[in-house]
């Protein structure tokens, strides 16, 4: 006689409601073969209540970037980010994320629209606006002959810190990003992941009130990625605001107060995880294997409907989970989010909003 083991979990905070999954197979293939959730109709891309005027760190109004060849990289983006928020921006390659961030940091001048940083018009006063930012671009040149410590101390001095303050700031950043052992190594001898951490560290120097980070953890191993998350959280806890782009669903779920989706140069949606999940008409997925061993799944509007389906079909081995942020993204943007390292986040990974998950296994049917 077989023993059934049923587990249910609701956990607020990091990735939650994750359920165990039997069998093998590529997660992307499994998701692609699954039913797609539909997005509820909405007249506005933002279900969130906007921050009050005095709480706004960044205000973007009608932002358009049109290149000489007629390409529109951004098409009328409106966005407000509150002080002390972490906002992650999701979007496929070519969706307009980097163009948006480059306009925010004054690297590109908008074709139309306005960007304000703590009330400062970034187009009219770019140096003043840029002076309030710590920026980590996707790519940037580093001084190959300098050591890691020299790099941080030099840039800290360029940001106006006194010599003693620059040393302290460099030590703090190296410690937070696990670069202490590399302090005396020349940058030219470092790996790509270590260089990436240096770029993030340069943005953090001087404790700027606004961090703008373009895919800050791309190419990093899991430990380094979590180290970057921790330094971003500490900066925000100390009063900073952070806007970052990412391809990693887990990163957006664990790190963000709100998540924005850019698709085709437009802001398709922005909100908390719960607000984004609420835009789907079906938010629970039942996954099981048929008699031929093939994985199957169906989507349901409520947990009760999912359980009723399991009972009706007499399934003996199945999982029930909330849809993931990747499902939400795919429904909103109409395409899967991938990067050079593949999509991040599995089918059964849910966000900080909390979810109920269930896995049940019995003997063969």
pLDDT single digits (tens) 254-309:
999 999 999 999 999 999 998 998 888 888 999 999 989 899 999 999 999 999 99
For residue 97, what pLDDT band results from cuts at 50, 70 and 90? Answer: very high
Tell me, what CATH number does 107's domain have? 3.40.50.300
On whether the CB atoms of residues 205 and 134 are closer than 8 A, the answer is: yes
What is the pLDDT at residue 279? 86
Q: What is the pLDDT of residues 36-65, one digit of tens each?
A: 455 554 444 545 556 666 689 999 999 999
Is residue 116 a part of any domain in this protein? yes
Residue 236 and residue 150 share a domain: yes
> What residue ranges in the chain does DSSP mark as E strands?
5-9, 56-66, 72-82, 86-90, 112-117, 120-121, 133-136, 210-214, 241-245, 258-263, 266-271, 284-289, 295-300, 317-322, 357-361
Q: What is the pLDDT of residues 105-130, one digit of tens each?
A: 999 999 999 999 999 999 999 999 99
Domain residues for the domain of 171 are 53-275
Residue 231 and residue 291 share a domain: no
Output the six-digit token pair for 353: 């909003």
245 or 42, greater pLDDT: 245
Residue 92 and residue 62 share a domain: yes
Q: Strand pairing partners for 318?
A: 288, 360
- The domain boundary, picked from 228, 259, 275, lies at 275
- The domain boundary, picked from 231, 252, 275, lies at 275
What is the pLDDT at residue 3? 30
Residue 215 and residue 91 share a domain: yes
Report the number of distinct structural domains present in the chain.
2
Q: What is the pLDDT of residues 144-196, one digit of tens each?
A: 999 999 999 999 999 999 999 999 999 999 999 999 999 999 999 999 899 99
**Average of per-residue pLDDT across 124-139:** 94
What is the pLDDT at residue 339? 36
Output the six-digit token pair for 337: 């989010």
* Residues 280-291 as b or e (16 or more Cβ within 10 Å = b): bebbbbbbbeee
Largest CA distance in the chain: 76
What's the rounded Cα separation, in Å, for the pair 47 and 50?
9
**Average of per-residue pLDDT across 78-95:** 95
Is residue 42 a part of any domain in this protein? no
Residue 137 has pLDDT above 60, yes or no: yes
Is residue 41 a part of any domain in this protein? no
Is residue 45 a part of any domain in this protein? no
Mean pLDDT of the chain: 81
Residue 25 and residue 162 share a domain: no
Q: How far is CA 110 from the centre of its chain?
A: 24
pTM of whole model > 0.85? no
Residue 285 and residue 268 share a domain: no
What is the pLDDT at residue 48? 58
**Average of per-residue pLDDT across 93-108:** 94
What is the pLDDT at residue 330? 85
Residue 129 and residue 22 share a domain: no
DSSP secondary structure letters along 148-197: HHHHHHHHHHHTT--HHHHHHHHHHHHHHTT-GGGTTSBGGGS-HHHHHH
Is residue 257 a part of any domain in this protein? yes
Residue 72 and residue 220 share a domain: yes
Q: Which of 308, 273, 320 is nearest to 47 (CA)?
A: 273
What is the pLDDT at residue 332? 83
DSSP secondary structure letters along 102-146: HHHTTSS--SEEEEEETTEETTTSHHHHHTTEEEE-S-----TTS
On whether the CB atoms of residues 89 and 244 are closer than 8 A, the answer is: yes
The HSE-up count of residue 343 (CA atoms within 13 Å, CB side) is 24
Residue 205 and residue 102 share a domain: yes
Task: Mention every residue, 6+ apart, whose C-beta is less than 8 A from residue 220.
Answer: 193, 196, 197, 228
Residue 300 and residue 242 share a domain: no
Neighbours of 63 (CB within 10 A): 24
For residue 32, what pLDDT band results from cuts at 50, 70 and 90? Answer: very low
Task: Mention every residue, 6+ apart, whose C-beta is less than 8 A from residue 108.
Answer: 65, 99, 102
Q: Which of 42, 105, 15 is nearest to 355 (CA)?
A: 15
Is residue 46 a part of any domain in this protein? no
Q: What is the pLDDT of residues 7-30, one digit of tens each?
A: 333 333 333 333 333 332 332 233
Q: Which of 325, 337, 236, 233 is nearest to 274 (CA)?
A: 325
Q: What is the pLDDT of residues 301-350, one digit of tens each?
A: 999 999 999 999 999 899 999 888 888 888 887 654 443 333 333 333 22
- The domain boundary, picked from 233, 255, 275, lies at 275
Is residue 80 a part of any domain in this protein? yes
Q: What is the pLDDT of residues 208-222, one digit of tens each?
A: 999 999 999 998 999
Is residue 44 a part of any domain in this protein? no
């Amino acid at each position: 006689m077989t023993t059934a083991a049923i587990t249910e979990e609701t956990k607020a905070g990091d990735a939650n409601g994750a359920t165990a999954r039997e069998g093998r197979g590529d997660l992307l293939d499994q998701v692609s073969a699954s039913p797609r959730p539909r997005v509820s109709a909405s007249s506005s891309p933002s279900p969130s209540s906007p921050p009050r005027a005095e709480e706004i760190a960044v205000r973007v109004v009608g932002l358009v970037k049109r290149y000489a060849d007629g390409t529109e990289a951004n098409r009328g983006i409106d966005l407000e980010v509150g002080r002390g928020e972490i906002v992650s921006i999701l979007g496929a390659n070519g969706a307009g994320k980097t163009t948006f961030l480059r306009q925010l940091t004054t690297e590109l001048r908008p074709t139309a629209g306005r960007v304000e940083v703590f009330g400062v018009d970034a187009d009219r006063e770019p140096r003043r606006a840029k002076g309030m930012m710590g920026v980590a671009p996707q790519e940037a040149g580093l001084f190959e002959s300098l050591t890691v410590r020299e790099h941080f101390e030099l840039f800290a001095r360029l940001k106006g810190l006194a010599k003693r303050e620059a040393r302290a700031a460099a030590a703090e950043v190296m410690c937070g990003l696990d670069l202490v052992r590399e302090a005396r190594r020349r940058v030219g001898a470092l790996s790509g992941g270590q260089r990436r951490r240096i770029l993030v560290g340069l943005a953090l120097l001087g404790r700027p009130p606004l961090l703008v980070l373009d895919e800050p953890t791309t190419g990093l191993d899991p430990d380094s990625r979590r180290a970057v998350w921790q330094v971003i959280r500490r900066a925000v806890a100390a009063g900073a605001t952070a806007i970052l782009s990412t391809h990693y669903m887990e990163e957006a779920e664990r790190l963000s107060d709100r998540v924005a989706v850019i698709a085709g140069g437009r802001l398709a949606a922005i909100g908390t995880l719960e607000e984004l999940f609420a835009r789907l008409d079906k938010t629970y997925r039942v996954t099981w294997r048929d008699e031929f061993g093939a994985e199957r799944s169906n989507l349901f509007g409520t947990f009760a409907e999912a359980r009723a389906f399991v009972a009706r079909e007499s399934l003996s081995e199945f999982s029930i989970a909330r849809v993931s942020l990747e499902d939400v993204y795919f429904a909103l943007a109409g395409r899967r989010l991938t990067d050079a390292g593949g999509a991040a986040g599995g089918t059964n990974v849910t966000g900080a909003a909390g979810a109920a998950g269930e896995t049940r296994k019995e003997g063969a049917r």
